Structure formats: C-alpha cells, structure tokens
Amino acid sequence: MTDVTEEIPFDKQQDYDRESEILKVLGHPIRLKIVAGLMSQSCNVKKIWECLGLPQATVSQHLALLKNKDIITGRREGVEVFYQVTSPEAKRIVGAIFRGEINCR
C-alpha cells in the first residue's frame, strides 16, 4: 500500500470544501470503521455487517451515505456488491488518522 499522506504536501492548494465534507461523513464511528476496513480490501455488505456486529439495514444506510458522497463505490459480482474506497481524499485522511501522521512538508 502506498503512503497516501505523501501525495499532496500540506502547503499545496487543496479542495478544502471536499475534504471538509469527507471529514463530516467520517465523523460517525460506524462510517469511519467501514472506510478503515475497506482501505485494505473490498467487502460485500454481509461481511461488513458481520464484522461490525450491526444489523444489515444499519450498515446499508451508512454505505449509501458513503456512496452518495463519492467516498466508496460498489462493484457487482453476481448478486453481491463489493465495496471499496475510491476517494483519494478519504484514503489520505483515514491513512493519517490510523498512522498518527500529518504531512507538513
């Protein structure tokens, strides 16, 4: 996995509005857990709700919000949909949170 925190130096112009929206969405613990889990592998809804120990309907609502904000996308394989993180901003933010790093170059 590449170090997504090094893609854009701190002093470069960024889309702060987009990153602010992502931070709002990731501010919910369930959504943060989902995105953090999807950083390493794609998963279907069943595996996600089993891992989180939450009802399928709850997980589906959170997935829908993440999808509507273009943080994740779904890929259909037969009757299953596998989700993965596609937002580079979300990858960078979650990567920084879980590595305890902030890129201040």
* Angstrom distance (rounded) from CA 98 to CA 19: 17
Residue 88 sits at the vertex; the CA angle it makes with 16 and 81, to the nearest 5 degrees, is: 125
Q: State the virtual CA torsion across 63, 85, 40, 4 in degrees, nearest 10.
A: -140
- Give alpha helix (H) positions in the chain: 16-26, 29-38, 45-52, 56-68, 88-99
Confirm whether 27 is domain-assigned: yes
Q: Which pLDDT does position 7 carry in this prediction?
A: 57
* Angstrom distance (rounded) from CA 5 to CA 101: 8
Three-class SS of residue 57? helix
Q: Which pLDDT does position 69 carry in this prediction?
A: 96
Question: Does position 105 have pLDDT exceeding 50, yes or no?
Answer: no
Question: Does position 86 have pLDDT exceeding 50, yes or no?
Answer: yes
Determine contact, residues 56/37, Cβ cutoff 8 Å. no
Query: At 48, which CATH number?
Result: 1.10.10.10
Question: Does position 99 have pLDDT exceeding 90, yes or no?
Answer: no
Question: Does position 5 have pLDDT exceeding 80, yes or no?
Answer: no
Determine contact, residues 77/46, Cβ cutoff 8 Å. no
pLDDT digits (tens, 9 = 90+) for 8-56: 555 555 678 888 899 999 999 999 999 999 998 899 999 999 999 999 9
Its domain, for residue 55, covers: 15-96
| Number of domains the chain contains | 1
Confirm whether 10 is domain-assigned: no
Global pTM reads 0.79
Q: Which pLDDT does position 98 carry in this prediction?
A: 83
Confirm whether 105 is domain-assigned: no
Q: Which pLDDT does position 18 carry in this prediction?
A: 86
Confirm whether 55 is domain-assigned: yes
CA nearest neighbour of 63 among 46, 40, 78, 77: 46
User: Is 100 or 93 the better-scoring residue by pLDDT?
Assistant: 93
